[in-house]
Structure 1
Amino acid sequence: MRKLLLGLMIGALAVLPAQAQSVRAGIDAWQKGDTAAAVAIWRPLAEKGDADAAFNLGQAYRLGRGVKLDLSQAQIWLDRAARKGHVDAQTTLGLLLFQNGNQTAAMRWLNGAAEAGEPRALLMVGTALYNGDGVARDPVKAYAYVSRAAAQGLAPAKATLADMDSVMPLEQRQEGVALAQSMVNRTLASESKAPSSSKPPAAKPIPPKVAQAKPPAPPKATPASPPKASAAATGRWRVQLGAFGQRKSAETLYAKLSGKLGGKPAYYVPAGAVVRLQAGPFESRAAASAACARLAPQPCFPVETK
């Protein structure tokens, strides 16, 4: 049996655009290159318990921007945010702990983030389940996790899924697809029982088709506003601009960037305790990447919807 290259995957995942949670003033300073000022804004808020600020501060220490690179401090602040249910912090902390050799603690955080549907966490946990690295080997569940990550457009997950397709029996892959769909259905059922709010429903990942397995199409996040006629387009691609603890922060960022998006509408996609800001649609990955280039230095990356 060929093992998936979990260790080599860590580096690629660590440099993916982790969605910075931010106080508006801090992220404005960060984007202008004044990272020290951004850190100065986030630190007191993080000390008061703000999960978004703690996540940002942890990222600053992890990257060595605005402060001296210090992975121990990065871990402290990411841990504070993760304990408040911050999904991106849980994922980033899990990856950092894994890099440092603490696989047991890493998997605890990554498992929680994977249950919330975070694609990097789904890939890491799925790969560990396939290899039996520190957990009982479960190729069916592994395929379900990796396929959900791939369905969200995560490039390393797509590559891993292709590798799994080449070595796993068709029956196991079909079981994995069915399991992934049941995970999505349970999430949908849970959300339908939750108190109603002003937030639109989440765009749920759906596993890719395997042979004759045909899961139903996932619900789509409703655009916050209709696209302008000049921006009318079809396509499965969007750009993701950030993830926020409060929808209002996402709306503020969209208002600032909308002029550079050619009238593309915003999509506010709940993901655990955060709201991801996306805009689109775009007809291809290339078109979405071009839009990201126009938004630089705003963190931005293409995501594929189903």
Structure 2
Amino acid sequence: MTISPIKPHLLSIAIISAGLLLPPQTTYATVANGVYAYEKGNYQQARAEWLPYAALGNPNALYNLGQLSRMGRGTEQDFIKAEAYYLRAAEKGHVGAQRNLGTLYYFGRINAVDHAKAFNWLTKAATSGDIKSQLMTGTMYFNGEATEKDNIRAYAWIFLSSQSGLTRAINALDKLTAIMTPKEIMQAKDLAPSLISNQLSPDDVGLMVQQQEADKPASSSPKNIIAETMAPPISETPPVGHSAADNYRVQIASFSTETTAQKALKILQDKFPKLWDGRQGNIEYVDLGKKGVFYRLQLSPFNRKSDAQEYCRKLQENNQDCYVIKSP
């Protein structure tokens, strides 16, 4: 019996098909390896790890490549390429990509400011529970950017953002409270829960690289003091060495549900009001496979490890367990 040799083009199809059938564990390991390389400063290696999985449509790989293009790490800084990567991930429901895509348009990183596109993507991320996008969406409602000015919706979105302890959202809410009537504030708070209409699906932050360089506002100045307060938070992490750099965090505990983590955060805020100046709460979603899904309650930002250790020590003196970790 004669065995026909496999033709080269059929072999290629077989290899590609096999790649499409890679199990989730393999994808996770490879994308995670890229994150590890990135954290070690090996940006080109990280890029090489992510490229094949981005080609297969992996949203975290696409997002991470967008980050590299945005920051110019392992490749030339190119906001147009960043947009392309973010867009592909955003269309797959990646919340971080939706937020970052919105900021590219809001701050005019691609040709000119495009409030309409910014509003579209920021509201998608905000609806899925992203607190920075909620803050920016509220900003846009207050300023009347790509939508009619609406103080009640502005307050509602910023109120949602402030519930996670985001300092700038809290400050912005204070300013809004000063110019609104009690009736308007009540209407806004009643409206807020209905704005979160999507089933929340947090990104897997363990597979995402964080941005290290803050966006700067586009050339046009914010229209009012509320915008001046609220526009900056949409940038990811301040540059390394900045006094507010998110290099370390204080972790309080891990919870099995996001609701429990949110309640624990609220208790902390009420219990230690004097310790919240310049700090914010973070609830990090972590999928540990067979061990389950957890929500880690963390406090940030801390530039130096010693700052985080000192903060944790103060909590421990008040019978609150905690420990210091490096920021994800």
- Residue matched to 1:33: 41
Structure 1 residue 156: Cα displacement? 2.1
Structure 2 SS opposite 1:203: helix
Residues 235 and 281 of structure 1 are in contact (CA less than 8 Å); yes or no, is this contact kept in structure 2? Answer: no
Letter in 2 for 1:51: P
Q: Does structure 1 residue 121 correspond to structure 2 residue 133? A: yes
After superposition, residues 5-44 of structure 1 pair within 5 angstroms as: 23-44=31-52
Residues 239 and 280 of structure 1 are in contact (CA less than 8 Å); yes or no, is this contact kept in structure 2? Answer: yes
The 1-side partners of 2:259 and 2:38 are apart by 29
Letter in 1 for 2:174: A
Change (3 A) 1:176 1:220: same
The 1-side partners of 2:157 and 2:257 are apart by 21
Letter in 1 for 2:68: A
- Residue matched to 1:268: 294
After superposition, residues 1-306 of structure 1 pair within 5 angstroms as: 23-100=31-108, 101-183=113-195, 200-203=256-259, 240=282, 247-248=287-288, 268-269=294-295, 278-279=296-297, 294-296=324-326, 298-299=327-328
- Residue matched to 1:196: none
Residues 283 and 298 of structure 2 are in contact (CA less than 8 Å); yes or no, is this contact kept in structure 1? Answer: no
Structure 2 SS opposite 1:68: coil
The 1-side partners of 2:299 and 2:80 are apart by 40
Structure 2 SS opposite 1:295: strand
Change (3 A) 1:268 1:110: same
Letter in 1 for 2:258: A
The 2-side partners of 1:179 and 1:204 are apart by 23
Structure 1 residue 40: Cα displacement? 1.0
Structure 1 residue 267: Cα displacement? 7.4
CA RMSD, Structure 1 to Structure 2 (Å): 3.7
* Structure 2 gap ranges (5+): 1-29, 201-254, 266-270, 301-306, 313-321
Letter in 1 for 2:294: Y
Q: For each residue in 1:85-111, what CA deviation from the matched residue of structure 2 results, as whole angstroms up to 9, or x when unmatched?
A: 001110011011111101111111111
Quote the sequence identity (%): 29
Structure 1 residue 176: Cα displacement? 1.1
- Residue matched to 1:230: none
Structure 2 SS opposite 1:27: helix
**Number of matched residues?**
217
Residues 69 and 78 of structure 2 are in contact (CA less than 8 Å); yes or no, is this contact kept in structure 1? Answer: yes
Structure 1 residue 219: Cα displacement? 5.6
Taking CA–CA contacts closer than 8 Å with sequence separation of 6 or more, which of the two structures ends up with the larger relative contact order?
1
* Structure 1 gap ranges (5+): 1-21, 192-198, 206-217, 222-233, 252-265, 270-277, 300-306
The 2-side partners of 1:136 and 1:200 are apart by 40
The 1-side partners of 2:76 and 2:90 are apart by 22
Letter in 2 for 1:119: I
Residues 43 and 74 of structure 2 are in contact (CA less than 8 Å); yes or no, is this contact kept in structure 1? Answer: yes
Residues 75 and 93 of structure 1 are in contact (CA less than 8 Å); yes or no, is this contact kept in structure 2? Answer: yes
The 2-side partners of 1:138 and 1:204 are apart by 32
Which has more radius of gyration? 2
The 1-side partners of 2:195 and 2:155 are apart by 12
TM-score by length of 2: 0.57
Residues 94 and 109 of structure 1 are in contact (CA less than 8 Å); yes or no, is this contact kept in structure 2? Answer: yes
Change (3 A) 1:95 1:81: same
